[in-house]
Chain A
Amino acid sequence: MNPILKVDKIEKYYGSKSNLTKAIDNISFQVEKEEFVAIMGASGSGKTTLLNVISTIDKVTSGNIYLNGEDITKFKGKKLDEIRRKELGFIFQDFNLLDTLTAYENIAVACSINKIPARQIQTMIEEIAQKLGIKEILQKFPYQLSGGQKQRVAAARAIITKPLLILADEPTGALDSKAATMLLRQMKYLNEEEKATIMMVTHDAFSASYASRVIFIKDGKIFHEILRGDDKRKVFFDKIINVISLLGGDVSDAL
């Protein structure tokens, strides 16, 4: 079976010839269907750039990215919008909810953009809201919601169109630990029960320990990769911490 995402020798340079920064320096990896992958790295390691190029927000300098077998680095404009709309779902650190819309409408916008008929939207939203436990807050505006609730609404928006791949950028970054745990559990639930493929970028070992595989990035290169296998989450967490300590002192803030 084809992998959902195949990243093949991609590079991303910034700056001019005299002052070149390699944000991504020859990275290759794959994400299989129904996998929950975490990308870890310190700030400046290139993980956000990696997410940006995968999510088609940014372009690679060289190399190819295959999404479901299609090379998305070759696409432009409208086709990219279409890919973002149909194949990708996003969860951002700062939620990125539209503050003028209610939670319900925020989720519905993703559907309307995908030209889903209005009749179906309601049942779809009710179903997903049930699963994520946000049914009671659907008619509220973002400013009336807590961070955790906002992020769950964002998760619902990302998942409702049943995308191939969900990209999460530091989803717990703006949450307190209780809300973060709750969100991560729900992401795990989405991954295990709803068969969603998730790629999460984080610098937080606790968040990463919920994934089934963790890829470590340092200075634009893949530094290490560990699989969770049948380990308990606690054990996996310790393994991650070990790798981080190997990454060097400069990433001590990763904890």
Chain B
Amino acid sequence: MLFKLSYKNIKRSIKDYEIYFLTLLFGVSIFYIFNSIETQAVTLDISNNMMQIIKIMSQVLSGISVFVSIILGCLIVYASRFLMKRRKREFGIYMTLGMSKKQISSLLFVETVIIGLVSLGIGLLVGIFGSYLVSGIVANLFKADMTRFTFVFSEKACAKTCLYFGIIYIVVAMFQMFIIRKSKLIDLISANKKGESKKNKNMLCCVIVFILAVVTLGIAYYLAIEKTFGNVNGDKMLLLAIFLGCLGTFLLFWSISGMVLKILINHKELYYRKLNSFTFRQVSSQINTNVVSMSVICILLFITICLLATGFSIKRNLDESLEKQTPVDYQMIISNDKSDYDLEDVQKKLDSYLSGNEMDKYKVKSHNFLRGLKGKSAGDLKWLEGDNQSITTLIYEYIFPVSEYNEYLRYSKKKTCELKDNEFMIYSTYVQKDINNQILEHNRHLRFQGNNFDYDLVCNSKTVNEDQDFLGPDAMKNGYIVVPDNVYKTLEKNAKNTGNLTMYGNKEISIQQIFDNEEFKKNEASDFYKVNVTNILSNSESTLDSSKVEQGLVHDFQEEIIGKDKLEAIKNENKNTKAENDIALVQEATGLNIYYINKKEVVDNSVGIGAMSVFIALYLGIIFMLSSAVLLSLKNLSESVDNTERYRMLKKIGAENKLINASLAKQIGIFFFAPFAVAVIHTIFGMKFAMYILKSMDQKINLPSVIVAIIVIIVFYSAYYLITYLQSLNIIKTDENKR
């Protein structure tokens, strides 16, 4: 009996349940799709390394899924609460007929179970088919071909979806029971008599709140941009900024409707034209009664835009910088930090090793350079800044002689450069670029001073170069300088254990101040080390077997220099310590730093990170868009009844359809795009913040990506606006026909 009643209830109020049901359905299918990516990927032709990345990605996604399920849970509870409100009278009638609260609760429970099961079933089906689409995206992002196209069903994702949504349904059911238990019959019965107590807001109050809102938002923006980075309390500041941002948004929507209306009323020509007075009043009252949901929609949109923009940016940046970061297939870097090995010898050994191991069929080129200012990265400088020390030295890690550098440029088919005897060139990117540019503004001198030499070089450009490349990611990040050959030779001669080799950035400001700093001394700022880099470029026909090269270049070669016995001894000695890998181990023991960059690995990682950011952005973006769409729909549904009545009145007093439609379009339009406009303003500042984060990750905001993200959202949002408008129009029309 109960089941039958529940079933009929759902069937009868199918229109009301439509949104609720669709929310569940989309929630389930999106949840399934993003949790089944790992299973999807197995069927694709993907390298091991890629698979590893996909595994990490699916772990990240499943972590995010917890967050997503909380959002969906809140959304579903909100939607169900909304439906309960609409059915109050119905429950009241049941109670007058003698039904107990317990029975109504179980009736609702049965309803929830029915809807839950149906939406879960259909949602999973949609998800299974939808995951095909995602397979395509996975294949595309991971650059795999999708020749084998098989039907996949992820039991794991399915079980997970059922579990998470099961919990959500239980929460919803409990929530409903709670509401029924505390409701009174009289409230239920008279629920349909709407208490019209629309308060007219005080103008002065509105203005004050508006100013307050603007100030609050201003502080939030300021905190987010200026105070979060390089600040000890950065994370607290960020939380404060988020809180103030939400508060400001709320206050803004609270105050703005009253204010704008007041201004419009005073523009009589506009206000009393067509149905404008009606339209503005409607919008104002809608905003008044929906301040919270509008603020939430605004914030959700803001997060969505930022997520998509950042995600696309990272992806694009990675794609763009990939070639730059990996000019060669393989790069081996040997730096002689503290060891007694002579780098000349090491290099000779390497050359003979390479020619003796068929490596000569590749294009191989070795370069020598110096490495200095070890450990002086942007992070350290931040710390210095915090101590009220201004930065006075240029930041770079590597020093190249100009002849060697030009040789490399020729080798990689790039334009060579020229340098006068008293000049130097500087290359750096990201954070270092900005800092170095600031320094160059004040002082373009760089001074190398030792016991028997003193070079004062001038930078040959006004700003830092950033478009050249030499090494892999490491040098790109840390920056390097190119000096005349004779300077290099002197430096090289004095490189090892030259305690008196000092670097000067600025003659006026005493650099000694910085060098006196304990922390800076620890970093051995004045030492240079010799470094050898060997670039290997494969012929176009033959692809490099990475595992073979790795084995050869690193392990065999290590053996060659250090000696088999000694290497074994080191490894045995350190069996119990947790060094990252053999390379790190050897480096620690010998002071000889050998490491390599494998283009394929870099490419895979880069693709992986790009794909990951796109997926996370898509996952959260879709969920947030869904949430704001649902909030808007519920709001629209709740007002459709009242509004229908109003439009009928207008029609009766002779308003043309054209006028009514235009008014409706304006109303919905303002309601849709007001949060969007505020969200875009938030985004401008939010992206500034994101820029700092990306910068610290060696990324930057890619303007086209931001624009693409905004366009994507505008397209979806406008489509949704159009649907809502047509739907509302339809409600009015059908009402007319019924009469």
Q: Nearest A residue to B277 by beta-carbon distance?
A: A105
- Chain A residues with Cβ under 8 A from B652's Cβ? 55, 57, 84, 90, 92, 96
1/0 contact string of B637-651 vs chain A (CB within 8 Å):
000001000100111
Q: Nearest B residue to A141 by beta-carbon distance?
A: B198
Segment 68-114 of A: residues with Cβ below 8 Å from B: 77-78, 81-86, 88, 90, 92, 96-101, 105, 108-114
Alpha-carbon distance between A100 and B739 when the two chains are bound, in angstroms: 24
Other-chain contact of B654, A77, A84, A92, A141 (Cβ < 8 Å): A84
Among B8-16, B154-162, B278-286, B419-427, the one that faces the other chain is B278-286
Alpha-carbon distance between A232 and B640 when the two chains are bound, in angstroms: 49
Q: Does any Cβ of B come within 8 Å of A254's Cβ?
A: no
Tell me whether B654 and A118 are in contact (CB under 8 A). Answer: no
Segment 253-282 of B: residues with Cβ below 8 Å from A: 268-269, 271-278, 281-282
Alpha-carbon distance between A105 and B656 when the two chains are bound, in angstroms: 18
Tell me whether B277 and A109 are in contact (CB under 8 A). Answer: yes
Tell me whether A88 and B654 are in contact (CB under 8 A). Answer: yes
Segment 172-206 of B: residues with Cβ below 8 Å from A: 196-198, 200
How far, in Å, is B319 (CB) from chain A's closest CB?
Answer: 52
Other-chain contact of A90, B197, B273, B653 (Cβ < 8 Å): B653
Chain A residues bordering chain B, tally (CB within 8 A): 35
Tell me whether B653 and A110 are in contact (CB under 8 A). Answer: yes
- Chain B residues with Cβ under 8 A from A109's Cβ? 275, 277-278, 650, 653
Alpha-carbon distance between A86 and B655 when the two chains are bound, in angstroms: 10
How far, in Å, is B617 (CB) from chain A's closest CB?
Answer: 40
Alpha-carbon distance between A85 and B659 when the two chains are bound, in angstroms: 13
Tell me whether B656 and A81 are in contact (CB under 8 A). Answer: yes
Instruction: State the main secondary structure of chain B at its contact with A.
Output: helix
**Contacts A88-B654, A109-B275 hold; do A100 and B281 have CB atoms under 8 A apart?**
yes
Alpha-carbon distance between A97 and B650 when the two chains are bound, in angstroms: 9
Q: Does any Cβ of B come within 8 Å of A121's Cβ?
A: yes
How far, in Å, is B729 (CB) from chain A's closest CB?
Answer: 16
Q: Nearest A residue to B648 by beta-carbon distance?
A: A96
- Chain A residues with Cβ under 8 A from B197's Cβ? 143
Tell me whether A113 and B269 are in contact (CB under 8 A). Answer: no
Alpha-carbon distance between A114 and B275 when the two chains are bound, in angstroms: 10
Q: Does any Cβ of B come within 8 Å of A157's Cβ?
A: yes
Tell me whether B272 and A118 are in contact (CB under 8 A). Answer: yes
Other-chain contact of B655, A85, A118, A143 (Cβ < 8 Å): A85
Tell me whether B285 and A84 are in contact (CB under 8 A). Answer: no
- Chain B residues with Cβ under 8 A from A101's Cβ? 277-278, 281
Most buried by B among A78, A105, A119, A121: A105
How far, in Å, is A176 (CB) from chain B's closest CB?
Answer: 19
Other-chain contact of A112, B198, B200, B273, B739 (Cβ < 8 Å): B273
Q: Does any Cβ of A come within 8 Å of B657's Cβ?
A: yes
Tell me whether B649 and A96 are in contact (CB under 8 A). Answer: yes
Q: Nearest B residue to A95 by beta-carbon distance?
A: B649
1/0 contact string of A140-156 vs chain B (CB within 8 Å):
01110000000000000
Alpha-carbon distance between A55 and B655 when the two chains are bound, in angstroms: 14
**Contacts A96-B649, A98-B649, A118-B269 hold; do A82 and B654 have CB atoms under 8 A apart?**
yes
Alpha-carbon distance between A111 and B652 when the two chains are bound, in angstroms: 14
Q: Nearest A residue to B197 by beta-carbon distance?
A: A143
Other-chain contact of B659, A77, A99, A105, A113 (Cβ < 8 Å): A113
Alpha-carbon distance between A77 and B651 when the two chains are bound, in angstroms: 11
Segment 197-234 of A: residues with Cβ below 8 Å from B: none
- Chain A residues with Cβ under 8 A from B277's Cβ? 101, 105, 108-109, 112
- Chain B residues with Cβ under 8 A from A157's Cβ? 653
How far, in Å, is B282 (CB) from chain A's closest CB?
Answer: 6
**Contacts A101-B281, A112-B277 hold; do A78 and B656 have CB atoms under 8 A apart?**
yes
Alpha-carbon distance between A78 and B654 when the two chains are bound, in angstroms: 10
Tell me whether A85 and B272 are in contact (CB under 8 A). Answer: no
Other-chain contact of B657, A81, A98, A105, A122 (Cβ < 8 Å): A81
Q: Nearest A residue to B654 by beta-carbon distance?
A: A85
- Chain A residues with Cβ under 8 A from B284's Cβ? 100
Tell me whether A99 and B196 are in contact (CB under 8 A). Answer: yes
Alpha-carbon distance between A83 and B654 when the two chains are bound, in angstroms: 7
- Chain A residues with Cβ under 8 A from B651's Cβ? 81
How far, in Å, is A106 (CB) from chain B's closest CB?
Answer: 9
Alpha-carbon distance between A85 and B198 when the two chains are bound, in angstroms: 29
Tell me whether A98 and B654 are in contact (CB under 8 A). Answer: no
Alpha-carbon distance between A78 and B651 when the two chains are bound, in angstroms: 11
Other-chain contact of B198, A82, A84, A90, A143 (Cβ < 8 Å): A143
**Contacts A81-B655, A85-B655, A141-B198 hold; do A98 and B273 have CB atoms under 8 A apart?**
no
Q: Nearest B residue to A99 by beta-carbon distance?
A: B196
Alpha-carbon distance between A121 and B646 when the two chains are bound, in angstroms: 22
Alpha-carbon distance between A77 and B656 when the two chains are bound, in angstroms: 9
Q: Nearest B residue to A104 by beta-carbon distance?
A: B277
- Chain B residues with Cβ under 8 A from A142's Cβ? 196
Tell me whether B655 and A113 are in contact (CB under 8 A). Answer: yes
Tell me whether B646 and A113 are in contact (CB under 8 A). Answer: no
Alpha-carbon distance between A57 and B735 when the two chains are bound, in angstroms: 13
Tell me whether B272 and A121 are in contact (CB under 8 A). Answer: yes
Tell me whether A113 and B198 are in contact (CB under 8 A). Answer: no
Most buried by B among A81, A82, A88, A119: A81
Most buried by B among A109, A114, A143: A109
Other-chain contact of B646, A55, A100, A112, A122 (Cβ < 8 Å): A100
Segment 289-327 of B: residues with Cβ below 8 Å from A: none
Most buried by A among B285, B650, B656: B656
Tell me whether B655 and A105 are in contact (CB under 8 A). Answer: no
How far, in Å, is B31 (CB) from chain A's closest CB?
Answer: 40
- Chain A residues with Cβ under 8 A from B655's Cβ? 81, 85, 113
21 A-B pairs with C-beta separation under 8 A: A55-B652, A57-B652, A82-B656, A85-B656, A92-B652, A96-B649, A98-B646, A99-B196, A100-B281, A100-B282, A100-B284, A100-B285, A105-B277, A109-B277, A112-B273, A112-B277, A113-B659, A118-B273, A141-B198, A141-B200, A157-B653
Known: A85-B653, A113-B655. 13 other contacts (CB 8 A): A81-B655, A81-B656, A96-B653, A100-B278, A100-B281, A105-B277, A109-B278, A112-B274, A112-B275, A112-B277, A113-B274, A141-B198, A142-B196
